[in-house]
Amino acid sequence: MVRIGITLGDPAGIGYEITAKSLTKYRDKRKFTLIGNHDHFFNVLRILNIREDEFDGIKFIDIPGGRIEFGKVQEEAGRISYESVRKGIELALKGDIDTLVTAPINKESWQRAGSRFIDHTTMLQVLTDSRDVGTVFEVRKLRIIFLTKHLSLIDACRQVKKENVKKGIRMADQALKMLGIENGRIAVAALNPHGGEGGLFGREEIDEILPAIEEMKEEFNVQGPFPADSVFHQASLGYFDIVLSLYHDQGHIAAKTYDFKRTISLNIGLPFLRTTVDHGTAFDIAGKGIADETSMLESIRKAIKYSKVYRENYKKYIKV
C-alpha cells in the first residue's frame, strides 16, 4: 500500500477544505496521513457537513495552535503551515510516508512566522539536501518543465543560453525517467514569436537554443525549437512527452488555459515525490465551503500513480 502524506497548508486558506473534499472520494483512508491542525480540520468538516466518522482510520499528525480566522494573513497560520511542511519532510525522509502532497501556503504568513524559506520548493530542496530540483506541470497528456522560474521576463530571457538549455534538456529527460518514461520525446519551446523567423525577431533560437538541441540529440530524443503558440498544443495531443518552457508564464499560461482545474505540479529530484495543486490559498473564498477540489484530487491521484516508480528510479538515476 502506497503511503501518502498530505500537509494541509495555510489554515486561513482553502487547503483544509479541498483536502477534506478530495478524501471523501476514497473509502479506505488508511493510506493517508494528514499533517496540520487537528481542531481546525474538524471545524472545516462541520462547515462542509462532512461526518467525522468518514475519516475513521486516517492518521493525523497534529500541529497544535491557536484560533485561526479565515481569509487573513496571520503569523499563527504561517507557523502551523510551516511546521506542517517541516513534519511532512521529516516523515518522508524517515520512510514513514512514500510521497508528499502539499496544500497551498501563504508566503507572507511564512515570513511573519519567521520562516527562512520563501516557499515549499526551496524548503524541500534545502532540508533534503537535494542538488537539482525541477518543477514539472502535468495536466492530462501535457507535461511542462521550466528552464527558469520566478524571474522578471527580461532576466528570464537573459538565462536563455546554450549551456542552460542543455541543462534543461537533461532535467526534462530525468523527469520523464523518474516518472517511468524511458527515451521520452522532448520538445523545446522557442523564445521569440514564430521561433524568431530566421533572426528577424531575435537571434536566441539561432545562437543559443538550436545549437544546444543539436549537441544533445546524440544522447536525448529532443526536437525544436518550436514556436510556443503551437508546441504545447502538440504535446497535449501526445506528440511529445514533455515540453521545455523557457520562462514562467510561457508554460503556466499553456497549462492553465488548457485545463486550469486539473493542472498540478510535481517536484523532480527530491528523494521522494512531491505533488501539489497549481493554485494558491484563495483567501477570498476560504471558510465558505465553495472551493473546487479538482486540483488537489488530481495531486493525490498522481501521487498514488507515480509514488512507487519514482522511488525506484530515484535510486537508479539520482541517488549516488
Q: What is the pLDDT of residue 28?
A: 86
- Give the mean pLDDT of 59-87: 97
- Give the mean pLDDT of 100-106: 97
Within 13 A of 104's CA, how many CA atoms are on the CB side?
Answer: 23
In the block, residue with C-alpha cell 480566522: 69
**Percent of the chain surpassing pLDDT 70:** 99
From residue 276, how far is each of 5, 117, 137, 161, 319 by CA, in Å? 12, 17, 10, 30, 23
**Given 3-state DSSP classes, what are the helix, strand and coil percentages for the chain, each rounded to the nearest 5?**
45, 15, 40
C-alpha cell at 1: 500500500
Spell out the domains of the chain, with CATH numbers in brackets: 1-131+269-309 (3.40.718.10), 134-268 (3.40.718.10)
At residue 116 the predicted structure's pLDDT band, cuts being 50, 70 and 90, is very high
Better-scored residue on pLDDT, 61 or 30 = 61
What's the pTM value of the predicted model, to 2 decimals?
0.92
Q: How far apart are CA 100 and CA 5, in angstroms?
A: 5
pLDDT above 70: residue 109 = yes
At residue 318 the predicted structure's pLDDT band, cuts being 50, 70 and 90, is confident
pLDDT above 60: residue 320 = no
Better-scored residue on pLDDT, 87 or 200 = 87
